[in-house]
């Protein structure tokens, strides 16, 4: 692999983490007018509407089993997790959700070994564990941390993280070998959950509220940005990164997201960065480097 491609993969990792880090800011703004479930549904529905027109240009014919795998990976990676997070965060704190979400690379590693025969080295497991420690360090030393925990709702976040880990492995092992464009994969990911989210919003009266309530109209612009950039475009970049690298490497975005969320909070919410958060970021980078110390790991 060329040095330029390796650098490109790392830029994708950092860029995608930054995009998803911004998502917390836009979700927070959206929650001023909508419930957590409505925010999750609007995010999925807006992403669905954003990607659908591209099906005109990206509709490569594929075998039925590949279509099923692609749709399943999309459902697990794009459709189910936003809903699970929305339900869970009504009962547990954002900090707990963030900590539990750092298990995504661990699930990617476990599923890869157990079900997809992905070669694994001890260095990858060690790197994953180091990354988890770094992410938890960042989250726990963020100001005003509230550790509100309810087991059954925390399990929803763990389930969402496992969905991410399984989705990446399905894409890499069952779909990418057929050279399907990442945009087509992204479209299929929202093909099932998008209409379901739209029906929920219609029956819930969310669309009617947007038509008549000033606050809903004002906050909708943040959710439009979240749905278009933080969901639809971000999922395209994630799928592209899985295609270029591996499910494990792509899953390391969950370690970097908390740090970028903090940086964005500093810029827009005047929050402060402390030494523990910087330390956590350095630990995360060490974990990512250890897990991917061989060049072929990020090819």
pTM over 0.75: yes
Residue 41: C-alpha distances to residues 11, 100, 176, 206 (Å): 30, 22, 28, 10
pLDDT digits over 107-163, tens only? 888 898 888 888 878 888 888 888 888 877 776 766 555 555 577 788 888 899 899
pLDDT digits over 222-251, tens only? 999 999 999 999 988 998 898 888 888 888
- Is the pLDDT at 284 greater than 90, yes or no? no
The predicted structure's pLDDT at residue 297: 45
CA dihedral 258, 264, 268, 270 (to 10 degrees): 60
What share of the chain in percent tops pLDDT 90?
20
Which of 80, 1, 96 lies closest to 41 in space, CA to CA?
A: 80
Q: What burial letters (b/e) apply to 238-264, b meaning 16+ CB within 10 Å?
A: bbbbbbbbbbbbbbbbbbbbbbbbbbb
pLDDT digits over 188-208, tens only? 878 878 898 999 999 999 999
Spatial CB neighbours of 178, under 8 Å, sequence gap ≥ 6: 62, 63, 66
Under a CB-based contact definition with an 8 Å cutoff, are residues 201 and 45 in contact? yes
- Is the pLDDT at 294 greater than 70, yes or no? no
Among all chains, which residue has been given the structure tokens 């612009």?
221
Distance CA(206)–CA(35), nearest Å, equals 10
Distance CA(131)–CA(54), nearest Å, equals 36
Range of the structural domain that residue 92 is part of: 3-298
How many domains does one find in the chain?
Answer: 1
pLDDT digits over 160-170, tens only? 989 999 999 99
Spatial CB neighbours of 163, under 8 Å, sequence gap ≥ 6: 76, 77, 80, 81, 84
Between these two residues, 176 and 41, which has the higher pLDDT value?
41
Average of per-residue pLDDT values in the chain: 82
């Amino acid at each position: 692999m060329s040095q330029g491609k390796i650098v490109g993969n790392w830029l994708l990792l950092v860029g995608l983490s930054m995009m998803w880090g911004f998502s917390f800011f836009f979700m927070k703004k959206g929650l001023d007018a909508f419930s957590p479930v409505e925010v999750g549904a609007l995010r999925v529905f807006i992403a669905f509407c954003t990607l659908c027109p591209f099906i005109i240009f990206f509709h490569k014919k594929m075998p039925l089993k590949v279509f099923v795998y692609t749709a399943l990976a999309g459902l697990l990676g794009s459709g189910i997790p936003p809903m699970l997070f929305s339900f869970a965060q009504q009962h547990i704190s954002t900090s707990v959700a963030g900590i539990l979400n750092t298990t995504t690379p661990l699930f990617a590693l476990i599923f890869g070994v157990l079900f997809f025969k992905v070669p694994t080295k001890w260095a990858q497991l060690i790197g994953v564990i180091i990354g988890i420690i770094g992410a938890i360090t960042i989250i726990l030393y963020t100001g005003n941390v509230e550790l509100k925990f309810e087991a059954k709702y925390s399990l929803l976040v763990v389930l969402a993280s496992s969905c991410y880990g399984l989705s990446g492995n399905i894409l890499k092992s069952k779909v990418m070998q057929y050279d399907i464009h990442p945009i087509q994969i992204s479209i299929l990911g929202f093909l099932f959950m998008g209409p379901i989210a739209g029906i929920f919003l219609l029956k819930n009266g969310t669309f009617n509220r947007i038509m008549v309530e000033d606050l809903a109209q004002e906050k909708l612009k943040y959710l439009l940005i979240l749905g278009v950039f933080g969901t639809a475009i971000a999922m395209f970049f994630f799928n592209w990164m899985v295609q270029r690298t591996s499910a494990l490497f792509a899953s390391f975005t969950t370690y970097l997201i908390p740090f970028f969320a903090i940086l964005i909070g500093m810029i827009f919410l005047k929050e402060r960065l402390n030494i523990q958060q910087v330390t956590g970021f350095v630990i995360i980078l060490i974990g990512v480097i250890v897990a991917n110390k061989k060049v072929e790991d990020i090819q």
